[in-house]
Structure 1
């Protein structure tokens, strides 16, 4: 299992060297977008609308938009120093609380913790203490350049870090539109609803729940593959040297024609005047 982070979990004077691993994975079926005409994958490029051109990664800087179209630019060194300053701190458990005191809306993502070299005994100590007291630890830690509020608990004999949202990241329920106030419910309707809930009540078994849409989508994809309903993206034709040479010659010829200064054509009247003048001079001279 890939190690995402290495650090130290501490509570009191106990330090536990640990490694962190992602506990969950996204199994969404990712679909690509193709150009309908030639079945080629669509590319998304970074462009600057002001300069009207594509930009390379080394031309991009990070900034915070504090007002409409007004930014504070932060360079990579400033961000790296800030990140290192926080990462050097040990993850300290600051409080112990009961799991049921935290509403599920706060939970974000789960990570497994495994002990690093020499950390097995301290790891086992914290696990036993949490198990005996029925408590979970509340801590702060840096994950992917963000300071996270987190809880540390036990899941099937393994310590787990659950990142949780800060209170100001949870939107106020008062902002939810069209939520009815207390409504009067007929006793008969309420009793029927409670009876239905009782009939459907069971022990939670996560294995019984499946992603029906993902399963059906994968089956459809497999069926199309078996029926040879597949397509191959057309490769962009490689330029031919001969064609390139001819194109270059033709373009050079066109450019030369455009750059060549235009000569004035002799008009019949002007040439006639010159002839008359010359003949007059000859007669006079004679």
Structure 2
């Protein structure tokens, strides 16, 4: 399992060296875009709309747009200094709370925490303490230059860290448009709805749920492969000189390209074609 981060967990005076591993994976099937005419993959270029030319990474700067077409430019050194100040490679547990006190809307991404060398005993201690107390730890961590709020809890025999949104990242529910007011619901309607919920109530078992669309798409892809309904990208043609004139032109162009620049630039009359 790939390690995405190395550091430590601290609570009180206890320090646990740990490694972070992504706990979930995206199973979406990625489809490429091809040119319909020749079935070649489409490339995307960074183009300046004003200069109308392609821009390389070395000519790009980062900036924050604080109003329409008004930017504050931030250079790499400034961003790197901020990164060094905040990235201390530690998960600091600030406090302990009950899991059901956090609404699921706050949860973002899950990571497995594994003990690094020398951290096994302290890791087991924190795991046992969380199990016994029935609580989770609220912590802060910096991953890829972004400070995150997180919780640490027990999952099976493993410590799991889940990043959660900061309060100002969660939009207010009262801003959602067209929410109906509390209309008077007839008792019969409510009783029928409750009866339906009761009939459909089961113990949660994640193994019985499948991504039907992904399964169907994979089956379609396999059928097309088996039936040889596939396309091959057209190779870019390399022009081969067909006669002596083309060959001489190619040789002359190569010589011109590798010719060393002269000290003085002087215009010379163009040679007439033989």
Shorter chain as denominator, the TM-score bin is 0.7 to 0.9
Kept in 1: contact 2:241–2:247 (CA 8 A): no
Counterpart-to-counterpart distance in 2, 1:244 and 1:86: 66
- Cα drift, residue 243 of structure 1: 7.3
Task: Report Cα offsets for 1:236-265 as digits up to 9, x if no partner.
Answer: 10132457964996xx9xxxxxx89xxxxx
Partner residue in 1 for 2:265:
none
* SS across alignment from 2:3: coil
**Structure with larger Rg:** 1
Aligned residues: 253
Bigger shift: residues 185-194 or 102-111? 185-194
Alpha-carbon spacing, 1:9–1:242, altered in 2? closer, same or farther (3 Å): same
Say whether residues 1:134 and 2:134 are aligned partners: yes
Name the residue aligned to 2:258.
none
Pairwise mapping of residues 176-187 of structure 1 onto structure 2 (< 5 A)?
Answer: 176-187=176-187
Number of the residue aligned with 2:59: 59
CA 1:10–1:246 in 2, change beyond 3 Å: closer, same or farther?
same
Aligned partners of 2:248 and 2:215: how far apart in 1?
55
TM-score (norm 2): 0.88
Stretch deviating more after TM superposition (51-60 or 220-229): 51-60
After the TM superposition, which residues 87-236 of structure 1 pair with which residues of structure 2 at under 5 Å, given as runs? 87-88=87-88, 90-236=90-236
How far the C-alpha of 1:86 sits from its partner, in A, is: 1.2
Structure 1 pair 218–89 and aligned structure 2 pair: CA distance change class (3 A): closer
1:46 partnered with 2:46:
yes
* 1:25 match: 25
Q: Structure 1: which 5+ runs fail to align?
A: 253-258, 261-286
Secondary structure of 1:4's counterpart equals strand
Listed as ranges, the gaps of 5+ residues in structure 2 are: 253-269
Alpha-carbon distance in 1 for matches of 2:89, 2:230: 53
Tell me the alpha carbon deviations over residues 200-242 of structure 1, each in whole angstroms, 9 at most, x when there is no partner.
1111100000000000000000001000000000011013245
- In the alignment, the residues of structure 1 paired with residue 46 and residue 4 of structure 2 have an alpha-carbon distance, to the nearest angstrom, of 28
The residue number in structure 1 matching 2:83 is 83
What is the SS of the residue equivalent to 1:129? Answer: helix
Aligned to 2:225, the other structure's residue is in SS state helix
